[in-house]
Amino acid sequence: MSELFEVRTQITKLVEQLITIRYQMKGVQASVPASSVESSLDDLDAVSDVPTEIRTVIGNCINDSLDPLIRDLLDLVKQEPGAALANGEAGRG
């Protein structure tokens, strides 16, 4: 069981680092000023410019990848040992 405890400890440390990275990415995203294309409602079909693309890609990466990763890892370390097997989730993924 000490190996499992060590693995959970390592995952918890990685989650802390991922949360730090998440906040850093949010900071970078917030530091990119909104462009005139982004703030104008005149042409909603306009091709996005570089600032808009940067803000969008960072936001999508956080929402679609980083947040689910953090959530899943936190759920994993909170599980009781053997819970996945008891729930029939072995081999999932």
80 band by pLDDT with thresholds 50, 70 and 90: confident
> What confidence tier does 86 reach under pLDDT thresholds 50, 70, 90?
low
Beta-carbon contacts of 21 under 8 Å, excluding residues fewer than 6 positions away, are 66
Q: How do the domains of the chain map onto residue ranges?
A: 2-32+48-79
d(CA 15, CA 72): 10
Burial class for 55, CB neighbours closer than 10 Å (0-12, 13-18, 19+): buried
pLDDT of 90 > 50? The answer is no
The encoded tokens of residue 19 equal 């949360």
What is the model's pTM? 0.74
The pair of three-digit structure tokens given for residue 42, joined into one six-digit string = 């005149």
Q: Could you identify the residue written with the tokens 């029939």?
A: 88
pLDDT averaged over the chain?
84
